[in-house]
């Protein structure tokens, strides 16, 4: 159970929902409705109640709950979906009242685990930066990897700044708008991966129908391309799952680090993870990430909630890179990685 004042604040101040007209409207609806806030407060501590409540409702609609609210969801109603109007909020409130028990049950058991395959570019970028610096095999760690889809960043096809890179034959197609790709390292030149491991509080099981349905429900109703990308990646990764260790990175970071071959460079990545760590635990989370550098040179990439303005003037989030020399912001990107604008430090002195 979360504090209701904090929950109201989360709905009032939520950012980054711009690509979902439906959720953008519902944020304001929930923020002003005491019953909806009480329901959203059933979200597990530390989890963002916005993503959690919207995910739970979407899950029930995708599972076939018959209700007029479904008419507003393109993921359910398709092209015939109703545009957001004055009846959307009341329909959402009625649905939540009618389905409060299953919604509360989902909120009490599920985590916000949106595995956005588009963000695999961050890991691939890290690999390419390491390869540019040295030819040694590397270890890869993703903290908060959800189902581990982005740990397979080397298996996907990308179009980055208009140029194809990666495994062109992959069913997983990732297109990222990059206005000036000249600052990027060669994304087709990757080091050998000596070991890859993910850490997650509760990794979804890609062989479990319900876990897959929850991951699908976390994709916003309008984002049909993201949903198709997710399904394709789940099929690729289910056929060859990476090593994913269940637990809190703060507690299991050190033991997992100890399993990596000593001396090899290690790339540690987290995207949209630290934002879901309770604020009081973030220093311990940061220390657990830094500890991966104890037995080998560390490059740490993070795309979280560092709000910045990109060179083109659009708002995004900073992509930070940290090694023994310190921390630099190497790009500003959209939170869903629809676009990425590299900054000059991307091309600076070799990493590590």
Ligand X SMILES: C[S@@+](CC[C@H](N)C(=O)[O-])C[C@H]1O[C@@H](n2cnc3c(N)ncnc32)[C@H](O)[C@@H]1O
Structure tokens at 116: 């956005």
CB of 119 to ligand X, least distance (A): 4
**250 touches ligand X by CB under 6 A:** yes
Among 146, 226, 229, 322, binds ligand X (CB under 6 A): 146
Dihedrals phi, psi of 336, to nearest 5 degrees: -100, 10
Indicate the pairing of strand 193-200 with strand 243-246: parallel
Q: How far is CA 57 from CA 11, 71, 247, in A?
A: 16, 13, 27
**Measured from the CB of residue 201, what is the shortest distance to ligand X in angstroms?**
4
Q: Please state the closest distance from residue 145 (CB atom) to ligand X, in A.
A: 6
- 226 is a site residue for ligand X (CB under 6 A): no
The yes or no reply on residue 229 touching ligand X (CB under 6 A) is no
Tell me how many residues contact ligand X (CB under 6 A). 25
Percent of the chain as helix, strand, coil, to the nearest 5:
45, 20, 35
- From 27-35, 79-87, 88-96, 198-206, give the range in contact with ligand X by CB under 6 A: 198-206
Among the listed residues 2, 88, 115, 226, the single contact to ligand X using CB under 6 A: 115
Two structure tokens written together for 104: 């509360």
Least separation in angstroms between residue 285's CB and ligand X is: 6
Query: Is residue 272 near ligand X by the rule CB under 6 A?
Result: yes
Q: Show the binding pattern over residues 275-304: x = contacts ligand X (CB under 6 A), - = does not.
A: -xx-------x-------------------
For the chain, how far is it from start to end, CA to CA, in angstroms? 43
Closest among 334, 121, 102 to 214, alpha carbons compared: 102
Radius of gyration of the chain measured on its C-alpha atoms: 20
243-246 vs 266-271, strand pairing mode: unpaired
Q: Least distance (Å) from ligand X to the CB of residue 204?
A: 8
Which residue, 91 or 277, is less far from ligand X as judged by CB? 277
Order of all β-strands in the sheet with 163-166 = 163-166, 157-160, 173-176
Pick from 53, 128, 151, 249: which binds ligand X (CB under 6 A)? 249
Cα–Cα distance for residue pair 187/165, rounded to 1 Å: 6
Question: Which residues contact ligand X (rule: CB under 6 A)?
Answer: 111-116, 119, 143-146, 150, 199-202, 248-250, 271-273, 276-277, 285
């Amino acid at each position: 159970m979360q504090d209701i004042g904090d929950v109201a604040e989360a709905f009032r101040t939520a950012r980054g929902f711009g690509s979902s007209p439906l959720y953008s409207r519902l944020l304001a609806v929930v923020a002003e409705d005491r019953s909806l806030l009480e329901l959203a407060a059933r979200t597990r501590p530390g989890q963002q109640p916005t993503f959690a409540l919207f995910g739970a409702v979407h899950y029930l609609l995708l599972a076939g709950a018959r209700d007029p609210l479904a008419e507003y969801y393109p993921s359910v109603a398709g092209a015939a979906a109703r545009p957001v109007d004055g009846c959307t909020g009341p329909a959402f409130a009625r649905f939540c009242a009618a389905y409060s028990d299953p919604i509360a049950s989902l909120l009490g058991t599920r985590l916000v685990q949106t595995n956005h395959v588009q963000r695999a570019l961050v890991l691939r970028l890290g690999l390419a930066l390491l390869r540019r610096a040295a030819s040694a095999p590397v270890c890869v760690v993703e903290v908060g990897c959800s189902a581990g889809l982005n740990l397979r960043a080397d298996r996907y096809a990308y179009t980055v700044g208009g140029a194809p890179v990666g495994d062109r034959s992959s069913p997983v197609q990732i297109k990222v708008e990059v206005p000036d790709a000249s600052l990027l390292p060669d994304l087709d030149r990757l080091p050998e991966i000596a070991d890859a491991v993910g850490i997650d509080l509760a990794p979804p099981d890609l062989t479990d129908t319900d876990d897959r349905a929850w991951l699908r429900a976390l994709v916003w109703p309008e984002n049909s391309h993201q949903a198709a990308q997710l399904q394709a990646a789940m099929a690729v990764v289910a056929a060859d799952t990476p090593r994913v260790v269940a637990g809190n990175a703060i507690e299991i970071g050190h033991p997992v680090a100890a399993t990596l071959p000593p001396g090899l460079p290690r790339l540690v990545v987290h995207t949209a993870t630290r934002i879901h760590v309770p604020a009081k635990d973030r220093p311990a989370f940061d220390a657990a990430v830094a500890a991966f550098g104890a037995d080998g040179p560390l490059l740490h990439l993070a795309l979280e909630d560092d709000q910045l303005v990109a060179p083109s003037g659009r708002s995004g989030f900073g992509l930070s890179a940290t090694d023994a020399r310190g921390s630099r912001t190497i790009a500003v990107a959209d939170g869903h990685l629809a676009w990425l604008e590299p900054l000059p430090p991307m091309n600076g002195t070799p990493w590590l």
